[in-house]
Structure 1
Amino acid sequence: MPLEIVTLPVLSDNYVFLLHNAETDQTATVDIPEAGPVRQALADRGWTLTDILITHHHDDHINGIPALKSETGARVVGASADAHRLPALDLAVADGDTIEVCGEPVHVMDVSGHTVGHVAYHFPQSSALFSGDSLMALGCGRLFEGSAETMWQSLSKLAALPPETIIGSGHEYTASNGKFALTIEPDNPDLISRVSAVSEARAAGKPTVPSLMSEELATNPFLRAHLPAIKASLGMRDASDAEVFGEIRKRKDRF
């Protein structure tokens, strides 16, 4: 039975994911920007927090962790490469590690680029990926610490996951990401349809996260930098995939 996944809005545009295995009665979170909403969501469901997975060190992903760690004794998991900037870890992990969370194997993936030491967590049995601020719905994180080459390598690694993979990313940026994506591929019918659906969902107050990898492969310009048509439209026919990705990222930064 796949995990129950709850998408919990926090702060102004962040998401926390609660992962629950009804058979083992284990519950994990991916990142905790603030403790209050997570504490309430757990209490409402009668769930006990057993694991806290950290994607990266930014405050809007970790500020609530010390309080809930103190209250629950949950195991805190994060990247060994980022440990000096994270709350105290009970388990330090690295790219290629497999750990068990909520009764399932979880593959740890280094997805540096937004930050150095950023990791994502892939739950193959539940077909779910928790990507933090690396791969986002219709976008990707800004390159605060890593290079375009590093981020392209990270996104390419994620893009190779099965298309039915659920993508739990850290923010509700999809509408603005969609507007930008249309400047790169204005005639992409899948993108046009998705932007319309995102607009309807947001108007109804519904989250647009998680998304599906199949959707991202068809519409997310940051996963499509290798396509000849996009290279041609940007006047970069002979550029490397990473160079094209870098140009798209620069345009988004100015958008």
Structure 2
Amino acid sequence: MAGNGAPGATVVSRALAVLFAFDTAHSRLSLSELADRSGLPLSTTHRLVAELVLGKALVREPDGCYVVGRTVWDLGLLAPVERGIRELARPFLSDIHAATRATVHLAVRDGLRALYLERLSGNASVPIVSTVGTRLPLHATGVGKVLLAHAPEEVRARAMRNLRRVTPYTITQPARLFEQLEAVRRDGFATTIEEMSLGGCSVAVPIMRERFDAAPEVVAAVGVVVPNLRRDRARLVTALQVAARGIGRTMPLS
């Protein structure tokens, strides 16, 4: 069952249990799978799913499985932090895209996942698994490694216990990932080599917001996905860091 416990007695809590049954590893679910992961009787799940489909919170696909509807993502974008970062970052993301012609990502941390707020598709034929609204593992993505490196210590500890292998090149050894995260904090950028998808490499940097009477905080990450990093890594890092600083300067102090 997904979530942290049994669903409550109210209609709202049961509807939320259905929605929370979805995650990155379970983006398409049958009715019986929804009932099992939400902890609800099949008849109750059937009734709630029908109402959620009617309200466009869920979409029923031709094979009978269900996926989260676009309206749920649109609602999530109304959250002040995500909406603000996305709107402020757009012109800078466009500049990166124009300069690199690569796929550009903007992401924030959502638990042990990187939540993708924006994606601008590149010209190169690189396999891309992300879409706007996708949540991908922190340890397997460039933006995710940046966010994990600057996350609270307890978050990093939990992540080390959940190093799922996505490709043969995904880092699943805690000691090795720990060293990489130290390098991210030291060098100011993270890279991946075919760790999320075969044929795709990434580089990412943190977006920092200034704070009153405190050190700047990392609130998001911006990165690009390219076929390889052998020749252009330094150029890409520079472009990303210029954009990240620009985004950070436009953010109000916290």
TM-score with structure 1 length normalisation? Answer: 0.34
Larger radius of gyration: 2
